[in-house]
Every structure is written in structure tokens, then in C-alpha cells.
């Protein structure tokens, strides 16, 4: 009997795509949205939009209250100690760029920034460019055969010159939970700042920044069944106090004249300009919806789907899995078949998967591949989605091989 998602009916977009003959298996890129989010977004715009924190009129006060309620919900979701530790950005990429510029003054010339070989470009390029600007060494932690950071190598590479560790929590290519607790302990033993990229991880396990003990944690709303254009940046209070603004204007100004200015502390001091008010309010609705779910049931459903996906891929000759994915997704390469050709034939049959380097080009080069197919799952996916995928995959491979 095919696995059924009890949450599928909450996602009008999934049902609309299904009615078009489309099967959506690209949730690691962006997730579909629950009705609760759509209601909140329409409700905000339909009841009178306004800017936040600036106006004394009723629409402005109402928007500000709803905006700050989302900050409270985000703090609860991440288990932050204070709402002041939550910064709204445009996504994980902007959060990481904010950190790379905002922490630059703390990193000594000749120091080291440590990342892993599994990083998304968003958690590679800001640090790569910072290393060039500041005269720092960018250290890459190697992976083992499963796709995990090699902890023995990490013990050698993380040392007294390590100024910052930035590590993904869950790889968007390999589908592996990285050993962040052990890596953070190594970095903190040398007084290094610690950053966790939770863009994928936050979707599949409710984050607890207190338990993690990191200085900074980032994630994106659009992967978390939330709206586009919003990200969350958590900063531990003491670490956040040292973060300098990287954008200037509007909201973050405390006092200004023509030649000097003073800026607000976090969070508003790091949120220059008009934010994505409607999207932030909609994120609050998405977080409230997520909080009401039976998380054990979600994990069990996603785990069963993932096991079915792996069984199907491993049963087909010539398919090479990348690493040993634990949950949420699987990337694979087919011997003698170009990933773009396969993705095209799958798309023609209504199967939405992702092909290419998945914003992890150095990792693909390390694996000796120009790209791969990624199938990624959301809690709204059914076993029937995988059945349609495997039927389409067999049809495509019959033509290509």
C-alpha cells in the first residue's frame, strides 16, 4: 500500500500541480506552501498594508505588531533566549553574507576560516571572498566515504589559528547530518566563532540553538514551508553584540547628521530599509502551523518515503548514489547518461526534480561529476509520487541507454 501524507491536503499548490499531472520532488530547492501561510499573506495585504516601526497610525501599528509576533515565534522555534537574537534577512545567503562582512573586523590577519567540502555556495563564497579580503586562510575539512566530515582530519585542521568555523548542518547534496556537535567543540576549544548553515537541517528537525551551542545559526523561510525572500539569522547575544552592520539606511539609524551617524543595536540595527513585511507575517503563520504538527509522525513519514526512494534507486542497474543519504533527499548519477538529458525526459513526463551541481560545484568536481539528479522530499509527498517518479525514470532510461 502506497504511503499517504496526512498533510497533503494542507498544500493547495501540491494539489494544483497534481491536477496538472505534475509530481513535485524538488523541496530541497523550495517547498510548497500551506494554506495557513496563504491566508496570512492575503489577510495582510487585503486588510491594508503598511510599513513597520515607523508610523503611529493604525495600519502601521497593526503591521508592526504582527511583524514582531513573528520574531517571537521564530525565537521560540529556534529556542533562542531572546527575540533580540533574531534578525530578519532575505534568506540564508544574505544571512551568511551579513556575517562575513559583519565579523570581518574580528578575524585576525593570518587566521583561519574552516568550512567543509560539502558546503553550498552560500556557505563557501562569502568566506572565500572574506579570506581574500582579509588575508586569511580558508581551510576545507575533507569528507569520508559516507559524506560526513572526517573528524580525525578535523582534529588536525582545527587549531589555534582557527578564527571561525562555518559548517552545514545537513548537506543539500549528500543528505547527511554533519557531526556539528563534535566540530563545534573543537572550534570552541580554540576560541573560534561558530556558524551553522541550517537551510536544510531546520526543515527536518526542529532547531535548538541552545543545545547546539553555536554563535550563529541561519535558515531560509522558503525551504521551511514559508514564503520567499525571508531568512532567519540567530546570533547568541554576546556574539551578536560584536556584529557590525553591513547595510545602511532607514530602519537601523538611531541618529544621523551629514557626517556622522549612530545605529541601533540588534535586531533593528541589522535590518536596514523596508523589510518584507507581508512575507515575515506569513512566515509567522507557517511557523505556527509547523509547531502544531506531530513531529514524530512527520519524521516517520519522511523516513519511510526516503527508504522507499533509496530502495528503488538501488534496485536499478547503473545508478550511483552520491554518499549515503540519511534523509530528505538522494542525489544520483547514471552511468553513460547526462543528468540534464535525464532531467529533461523526466520533466516531459511531469516529474519535477533538480539537475546540475546544486550550488555545490566544488563538491561535484571532487566527486568527478559535472552534475547529478536530486530527488528531494517534503512532508506532503506520497508513495504515489515515488511510483510516478520510478515509472518515468524507467521510461527515460530506456530511451537514453
Q: Are 207 and 200 in contact (CB under 8 A)?
A: no
Q: Compute φ and ψ for 370, nearest 5 degrees.
A: -85, -10
Q: How many residues are recorded in the chain?
A: 401
CA dist 383 and 389 (Å) reads 10
Q: Are 358 and 389 in contact (CB under 8 A)?
A: no
From 117, 303, 116, select the one nearest 204 (Cα to Cα).
Answer: 303
Which cell numbers hold the place of 52? 513597520
Which cell numbers hold the place of 235? 546570533
Catalytic entry in 214, 219, 331, 359? 359
Q: Compute φ and ψ for 50, nearest 5 degrees.
A: -160, 160
CA dist 149 and 75 (Å) reads 29
**What three-state secondary structure class fits 40?**
helix
Report the phi/psi class of residue 380: left, alpha or beta, with left for phi > 0 and alpha for psi in -120 to 50.
alpha
CA dist 144 and 121 (Å) reads 20
The conformation of residue 342, written as its DSSP 8-state character, comes to H
Which cell numbers hold the place of 236? 547568541
CA dist 330 and 316 (Å) reads 14
Strand-pair category, 329-334 with 319-321:
antiparallel
Beta-carbon contacts of residue 170 (< 8 Å; ≥ 6 apart): 176, 177, 178, 198, 200, 201, 204, 327, 328
Could you confirm whether 359 is annotated as catalytic?
A: yes
Which cell numbers hold the place of 277? 513585511
Q: Are 253 and 264 in contact (CB under 8 A)?
A: yes
Residues designated catalytic: 359
Amino acid at each position: 500500500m502506497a504511503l499517504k501524507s496526512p498533510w497533503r491536503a494542507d498544500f493547495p499548490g501540491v494539489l494544483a500541480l497534481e491536477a496538472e499531472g505534475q509530481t513535485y520532488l524538488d523541496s530541497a530547492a523550495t517547498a510548497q506552501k500551506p494554506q495557513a501561510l496563504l491566508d496570512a499573506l492575503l489577510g495582510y495585504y487585503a486588510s491594508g498594508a503598511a510599513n513597520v516601526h515607523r508610523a503611529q497610525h493604525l495600519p502601521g501599528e497593526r503591521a508592526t505588531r504582527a511583524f514582531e509576533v513573528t520574531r517571537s515565534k521564530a525565537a521560540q522555534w529556534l529556542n533562542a533566549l531572546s527575540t533580540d537574537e533574531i534578525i530578519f534577512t532575505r534568506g540564508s545567503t544574505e544571512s551568511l553574507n551579513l556575517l562575513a562582512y559583519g565579523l570581518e573586523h574580528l578575524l585576525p590577519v593570518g587566521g583561519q576560516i574552516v568550512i567543509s567540502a560539502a558546503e553550498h555556495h552560500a556557505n563557501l563564497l562569502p568566506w572565500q571572498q572574506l579570506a581574500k579580503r582579509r588575508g586569511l586562510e580558508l581551510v576545507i575539512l575533507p569528507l569520508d566515504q559516507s559524506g560526513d566530515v572526517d573528524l580525525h582530519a578535523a582534529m588536525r585542521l582545527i587549531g589555534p589559528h582557527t578564527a571561525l568555523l562555518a559548517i552545514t548542518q545537513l548537506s543539500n547534496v549528500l543528505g547527511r547530518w554533519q557531526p556539528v556537535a563534535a566540530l563545534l567543540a573543537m572550534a570552541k576549544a580554540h576560541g573560534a566563532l561558530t556558524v551553522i548553515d541550517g537551510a536544510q537541517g531546520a526543515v527536518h528537525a526542529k532547531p535548538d540553538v541552545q543545545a547546539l551551542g553555536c554563535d550563529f545559526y541561519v535558515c531560509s523561510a522558503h525551504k521551511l514551508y514559508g514564503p520567499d525572500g525571508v531568512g532567519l539569522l540567530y546570533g547568541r547575544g554576546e556574539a551578536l553584540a560584536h556584529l557590525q552592520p553591513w547595510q545602511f539606511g532607514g530602519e537601523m539609524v538611531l541618529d544621523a547628521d551629514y557626517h556622522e551617524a549612530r545605529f541601533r543595536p540588534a535586531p533593528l540595527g541589522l535590518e536596514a530599509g523596508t523589510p518584507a513585511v507581508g512575507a515575515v507575517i506569513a512566515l509567522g503563520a507557517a511557523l505556527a502551523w509547523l509547531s502544531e504538527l506531530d513531529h514524530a509522525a512527520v519524521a516517520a513519514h519522511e523516513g519511510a518515503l526516503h527508504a522507499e526512494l533509496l530502495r528503488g534507486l538501488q534496485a536499478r542497474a547503473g545508478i550511483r548514489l552520491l554518499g549515503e543519504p540519511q534523509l530528505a533527499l538522494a542525489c544520483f548519477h547514471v552511468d553513460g547518461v547526462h543528468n540534464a538529458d535525464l532531467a529533461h525526459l523526466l520533466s516531459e513526463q511531469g516529474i519535477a526534480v533538480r539537475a546540475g551541481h546544486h550550488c555545490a560545484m566544488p563538491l561535484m568536481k571532487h566527486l568527478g561529476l559535472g552534475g547529478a539528479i536530486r530527488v528531494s522530499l517534503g512532508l506532503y509527498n506520497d508513495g504515489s509520487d515515488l511510483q510516478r517518479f520510478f515509472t518515468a525514470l524507467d521510461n527515460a532510461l530506456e530511451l537514453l541507454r
